């Protein structure tokens, strides 16, 4: 690991707003908050940071496997004294084991890697297996929100929605959409500079049954 990454990695684990498989918590404190939001693949955590800053009554948890990226959002949150923003270094596949005390209202999947090769389809963060995890993490009225620049990921999301017969709203071509879609991520800022159109979807998993 490059030296800078290693330093960030170590420092992130020292923050009191960062948890990891080697530094666990039961997250019961999240239940003090009336609303709970989870960001999947949060990267540098800027979306989670903005969400938490704009909505101090909401508990926000950013999840990613890359601790050196999480460092950025966690550091901003520490400097601002945010008490409603936390990060968890954990692969999505293991989240159920660690978040069983929380029912989330919203799950945000922000600019997930489209894994364009057919062999990578099971790694897409909206593959069947992941949708099952999100269903278990959400409360009965909860929804998943997806932001992506990728046409492939957008079409795949529409395919999954149809396959599992899910209720959804496509905000991509609408002028009005839920405010948090405006909270920017690092990847989003890059794609916007390249002139890419951002696709925005919301769906719920009420009717989801793993086939
Ligand atoms: C393309 S980046 C987007 C990061 C951020 N959301 C953004 O828009 O700037 C995708 C992120 O998802 C994370 N990721 C991919 N698969 C994951 C998994 N199974 N569990 C947790 N994080 C994952 C990666 O580590 C990476 O930081």
Q: What percent of the chain has pLDDT over 90?
A: 94
Q: What's the full length of the chain, in residues?
A: 211
Ligand 1 proximal residues by C-beta, below 6 Å: 41-44, 63-66, 69, 91-92, 110-113, 125, 185-188
| Gap between the Cα atoms of 16 and 14, Å rounded | 6
Q: What is the model's pLDDT at position 1?
A: 66
CA distance to 15, 48, 188, per residue, from 198 (Å): 33, 18, 8
Superfamily for the 3-203 domain? Vaccinia Virus protein VP39 (3.40.50.150)
Is residue 77 within 8 Å of residue 17, measured between CB atoms?
A: yes
Q: What is the model's pLDDT at position 57?
A: 98
User: Counting Cβ atoms within 10 Å, is residue 168 exposed (0-12), middle (13-18) or buried (19+)?
Assistant: middle
Q: What is the model's pLDDT at position 211?
A: 73
pLDDT, one tens digit per residue, over 56-80 is: 999 999 999 999 999 999 999 999 9
Annotated catalytic residue within 64, 103, 113, 136: 113
The DSSP bridge partners found for residue 202 are: 145, 169
Is residue 82 within 8 Å of residue 23, measured between CB atoms?
A: no
Is residue 63 within 8 Å of residue 90, measured between CB atoms?
A: yes
| Gap between the Cα atoms of 76 and 181, Å rounded | 20
Q: Find the 41 Cα to ligand 1 centroid distance in Å.
A: 3
Residue among 55, 75, 31 at smallest CA distance from 183:
55
Taking 90 as the threshold, does the pLDDT of residue 2 lie above it?
Answer: no
User: Is position 182 annotated as part of the catalytic site?
Assistant: no
| Residue identifier of the C-alpha nearest atom 11 of ligand 1 | 41
Q: What is the model's pLDDT at position 61?
A: 98
| Residue identifier of the C-alpha nearest atom 16 of ligand 1 | 41
| Gap between the Cα atoms of 170 and 195, Å rounded | 20
pLDDT, one tens digit per residue, over 114-169 is: 999 988 999 999 999 999 999 999 999 999 999 999 999 999 999 999 999 999 99
Q: What is the model's pLDDT at position 118?
A: 86
Torsion of CA 68, 110, 158, 202, to 10 degrees: 140
């Amino acid at each position: 690991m490059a030296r800078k990454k290693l330093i960030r990695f170590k420092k992130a684990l020292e923050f009191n707003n960062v948890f990891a498989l080697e530094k666990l918590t039961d997250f019961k404190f999240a239940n003090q908050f009336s609303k709970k939001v989870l960001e999947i693949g949060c990267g540098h955590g800027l979306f989670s940071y903005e969400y938490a800053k704009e909505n101090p009554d909401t508990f926000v948890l950013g999840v990613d496997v890359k601790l050196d990226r999480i460092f950025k959002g966690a550091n901003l949150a520490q400097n601002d004294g945010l008490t409603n923003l936390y990060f968890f270094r954990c692969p999505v596949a293991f989240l159920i084991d660690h978040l069983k005390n929380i029912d989330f209202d919203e799950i945000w999947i922000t600019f997930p890697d489209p894994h364009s090769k057919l062999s990578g389809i099971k790694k897409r963060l909206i593959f069947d297996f992941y949708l099952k995890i999100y269903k278990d993490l959400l409360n009965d009225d909860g929804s998943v929100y997806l932001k992506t620049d990728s046409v492939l990921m957008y079409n795949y999301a529409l395919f999954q929605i149809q396959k599992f017969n899910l209720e959804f709203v496509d905000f991509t071509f609408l002028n009005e959409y839920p405010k948090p879609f405006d909270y920017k991520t690092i990847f989003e800022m890059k794609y916007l500079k390249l002139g890419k159109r951002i696709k925005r979807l919301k769906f719920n998993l009420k009717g989801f049954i793993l086939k």
